[in-house]
């Protein structure tokens, strides 16, 4: 039997309500995944810093903040970071949108290793 226009409208409104709820669930799942990814990234990166610089472990939050501001947040570090960012932007199409969208940056590990081998002025440290 054919539906009346009122029944069709009610059916469409129900579909809209269901789709809106599905959209809300998907947005909530996406936000939750982003939080998990961020927590994972922060833990990995801080673990790496503590591994390279174990003397930072006993520092207070304020001391650690001062250390970061005076060592990492320098113009030299900014130039290195800008270079890596440009490198990632250039290689992102080759890697595919999936890896770039997740923030995967394999060259960063190489840079941290290079930064450890280089002195503060960029010259190689003799060991």
Question: In the chain, what are the domain boundaries?
Answer: 1-56, 59-94
Q: Is the pLDDT of residue 30 over 50?
A: yes
Share of the chain above pLDDT 90, in %: 65
**Count of C-beta atoms within a 10 Å radius of residue 106:** 10
pTM of the complete model: 0.57
Give pLDDT, residue 123: 44
- Residue range 112-116: mean pLDDT, rounded: 41
Instruction: Give me 118's structure tokens.
Output: 């280089």
Q: What is the mean pLDDT of the chain?
A: 80
Q: How confident is the model at residue 95 (pLDDT cuts 50, 70, 90)?
A: low
Q: Is the pLDDT of residue 56 over 90?
A: yes
């Amino acid at each position: 039997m054919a539906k009346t226009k009122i029944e069709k409208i009610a059916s469409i409104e129900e579909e809209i309500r269901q789709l809106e709820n599905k959209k809300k669930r998907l947005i909530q799942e996406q936000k939750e995944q982003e939080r998990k990814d961020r927590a994972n990234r922060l833990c990995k990166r801080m673990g790496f810093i503590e591994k390279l610089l174990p003397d930072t472990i006993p520092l207070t939050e304020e001391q650690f903040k001062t250390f970061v501001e005076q060592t990492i947040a320098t113009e030299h570090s900014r130039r290195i970071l800008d270079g890596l960012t440009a490198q990632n932007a250039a290689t992102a199409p080759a890697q595919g949108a999936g890896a770039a969208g997740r923030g995967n940056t394999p060259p960063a590990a190489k840079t941290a290793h290079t930064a450890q081998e280089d002195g503060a002025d960029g010259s190689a440290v003799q060991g």
